[in-house]
A and B are shown apart, each in its own frame.
Chain A
Amino acid sequence: MEVVLNINGEEKALQIEPGDILLDTLRSNGYMGHKRACSTGSCGACTVIIDDEAVNSCMVFTASAAGKKIETVEGLGTVSKPHPLQKNFVDAGAVQCGYCIPGMLMSAKALLKKNDSPSRDEVKEALSGNLCRCTGYVKQIDAVMKTAEELRGEK
């Protein structure tokens, strides 16, 4: 079947099977930023934003995302022009192996869209679906707090 997905603001007509999973569809169409790590919706490595909500793309049927606004890490920023979250994650030392980071960035972005002045506990809560084994989450939380300040124009 054919579906039209809106990925990072671009309309894409894709041939899929009815049972296809969004994570697989994204990865097989060149959106490699989001990773498969558990396939059960419990680690967050595949987190994308659908209509402003951070969701595990391994738990979403591709067909059900048709007509919705999908945001992936590829739409966030680039190496030469990173999004403030990406820059602050690197500056804070929050990126170690980096496998969980694209998913975590999307959770952070979804949070900041809804709440531009999150408390540290609110950031912890927003990132709690994204498992990371390299870090202790400390530096990611720092990076999100700093980005929130920057986006509010305080720094």
Chain B
Amino acid sequence: MTSQYKVVNQSVKKVDGLALACGKPVFTGDVCDKNMLKVKMLFSPKAHARIKDIDTSKAEALEGVKCVLCYKNSPRIPRTTAGQGYPEPSPYDSVVFDNKVRFVGDRVAAIAATTLEIAEKAVDLIEVEYEELEPVLDPHEAMNDGAPIIHDEEDCKVIIPIAYEPEKNICAYVDANVGDCDKAIAESDFKFELTTHAPKAQHCATEPHISTAHLDDKDRIVIRTSTQVPFHVRRIVAGSLGIPVKKIRVIKPRVGGAFGSKQEVCFEDVVALVTLRTGLPCILEYTREEVFVSSRIRHEQYVTMKGGLNKDGKITALDMYVLSNTGAYGSHGLTVMCNCGSKVLPLYPTENIKFEGHAVYTNSPVAGAYRGYGATQAAFTMEIMIDQMAEALNQDPLEFRLSHHIKEGQGSPIFQALGEGKEGVEQTVKSCGLPQCIKLGAEEIGWKEKCNKQKDEGPIKRGIGMAALMQGSSVPEIDMASASLKMNEDGSFNLLVGATDLGTGSDTVLAQIAAEALGITEEDIIVYSSDTDMTPFDVGAYASSTTYLSGMAVKNAAEEVKKQIVQVTESMLQEKDAEYCFEEGIVKSSTGKSVTLSEVALYALYQENQFQIGTIGSAISHSSPPPFSAHFVEVAVDTETGKITIEKYVAAVDCGTAINPKLAEGQTEGAVFNGISYAMTENYILNDRGKMLNPNFRHYKTLKSNDIKEVKTILVPTFEPTGPYGAKSVSEISINGAMPAISNAVYNATGVRLLDAPFTPDRVLAAIKAKG
């Protein structure tokens, strides 16, 4: 690929790749000291109960037990565990340990002991007297009059003005209206209405949640944790325990995958409290079962869409209603729901738009952030309805999308109407490669030849389907990132970023951005990420923000450092008003003279007017430019067994300038696989008392290497003028395509609409039989 750039837009090797491939001890659990106390949690076996009493005396008496924590001896300061910026838009509806449990798997107590075996034994010795309450698991039922009230405590609250009615189990309510949807639909030639159901799901990051804590030489608490949000962890732990932020340092080592599950204070408060109480280092690591049950999951959602369409092809109205199951606590409840509208409705501009949603408490596992963040669930509904609209006009769904999608220069009132806890930000699309994504993706899958071909005669029916997608890049006017850049004697630089590499490759991407600006290679950038004592602030890795926003902060820092280097160069060369360019580690003057970066650094550090060349650059985002994508899938449906085989999947993505094309492809492939897995197999099976029956990889299936025949990724370059070197986000968007594209392909193959995921053979077969 030819490129105007030297370092960005190149597939340089991941800066931490070899260390990881060599199994270096770089993860939180790899630095575990044998002397650390092992912490084990006692989880609730009840879906809904008050704890009348808890007797920990037998556990405490066990030799080796150093600390037992429960509601009786821990601070009661309501907070949210959602790792969001302050003031958080999630309700303050949890405390470190409560005297009420709200789902099977809720925290009851924690034991810290010298060995894991003792801790496990001690957990069994805790005697809890429960007053069992009726649970409610279904979000529809939770809103009924007389439903059990899950948050009846007096101190739960929201800290920003949003609709919060815990007495009705409503964690958040939102509505936004433009024009008059009802009237427009009533007057339309064609009317549409459908409801989809997207289930609960787990992120299944390979590394389970894990944190350690110890005291440093000044008795400050040092938390090492596998997190997406080190700065939010520091603030939330401080708030939860009532201690100052300055007493806490949070270090993020390498993270073994997160996908939203670690945008959450899952138990950093507990390890901190154990260490505060005992003065001893400790470690807490969830088992896989505990990750499934007690960490965080995707919001289960019922999304109802209505739409109007005229014979001339005009979409007259889009109306979306979201019922979102936030589980026992309201983590990300409001914002995931808002994202259903804000990342999906703007794709097809129309004059009448309505969005309404309830996020509802139930006694089921706690939902939180998950790659796609609501857009996954809502794109399922929208992209099926778009296919239905095309069918009503007897038009190719590809052509229908091409003529109706948002174009460069267009905005949407939804951008402004739906924000994250406050109004959104008005924006127009400045880069859109969707037409090219659709064209190239269609060619790759063979759309023209396959979409109208004769239907198969035998029991195996082949079909083809597509979906068009958009997401965002950061939360506008809320997210902030910063980066510190410092020059060394040999012309290398230390780049310290609060941005949090979760395996995404952001350390590499940010090094490339700095190197490009400074005219060096990424090998001369030494990256250190995410340590609240050492690196400047960054909100963390979420909302598809790192390349776009943290990348801008790095670029700002590099531009400032270049100014300082020019100043020093002018003094060294004794010239003024020359133009300088930075190439291959050399500062070249328009006068023909030049100095190396190393000479500049040595001069500044040791010779004249000495100072440290370096700065901290910050960036906040004023818009959230959407990446775009077109997904295509070919399926073979066995109408006798209900089994769907994915023959081929194509994802064409416009992420602006791909700073590292190979890593961008990797993000896309990972998201596509996760999306297909969610569409096809993943589900939480709860019994009628709220207990999860399949909390392991044998019964909760994620895709393996031999499950899909072929996946093809196509990057479509555009230039986003607001992004660093034209970049937009890439990490989330491609998880959103599989559910609607596969559903559309199955319809194309069989005439059956699948609206309830996952599309397991029993459901497919039932749908085929129901159709007759």
Contacts and interface: CB of A to CB of B under 8 A. Distances in A.
Interface of A: 28, 32-40, 42-43, 45, 72-74, 76-79, 82, 86-87, 89-102, 105, 121, 123-125, 127-141
B207 interface: yes
B694 interface: no
B138 to A, nearest CB: 29
Contacts of A102: 21, 23
Contact of B673 (A39, A100, A124, A137): A137
A40 B696 CA distance: 8
Given A121-B706, A132-B206, 9 more contacts: A33-B23, A36-B285, A38-B697, A97-B206, A133-B259, A136-B669, A136-B673, A139-B666, A140-B705
B interface residue count range (under 10 / 10 to 19 / 20 to 34 / 35 or more): 35 or more
B702 interface: yes
Nearest to A104: B705
Contacts of B1: none
Contacts of B18: 79, 82, 86-87, 90
Contacts of B14: 90, 93, 95
24 contacts: A32-B30, A35-B29, A36-B208, A42-B696, A42-B698, A45-B206, A74-B23, A76-B22, A82-B21, A86-B18, A87-B18, A93-B14, A93-B662, A97-B20, A97-B254, A97-B255, A98-B254, A105-B21, A130-B705, A133-B205, A133-B670, A134-B257, A136-B673, A138-B711
A141 B23 contact: no
Interface in B684-705: 696-698, 702, 704-705
Candidate in B17, B204, B662, B702 with the most chain A CB atoms within 10 angstroms? B17
A92 to B, nearest CB: 8
Contacts of A38: 288, 696-697
The B contact surface, by secondary structure, is: loop
Contacts of A124: 705-706
Contacts of B237: none
Contact of B17 (A90, A105, A136, A137): A90
A102 B24 CA distance: 10
Q: Looking at B30, B502, B503, which has the most chain A CB atoms within 10 Å of its CB?
A: B503
B505 interface: yes
B701 to A, nearest CB: 10
Contact of A95 (B17, B705, B711): B17
Contact of A98 (B16, B204, B706): B16
A96 B503 contact: yes
B702 to A, nearest CB: 6
B499 to A, nearest CB: 15
A35 B206 contact: yes
A53 to B, nearest CB: 18
Contacts of B25: 32-33
B288 A73 contact: no
Nearest to A72: B23
Interface string B698-740: 1000101110100101000000000000000000000000000
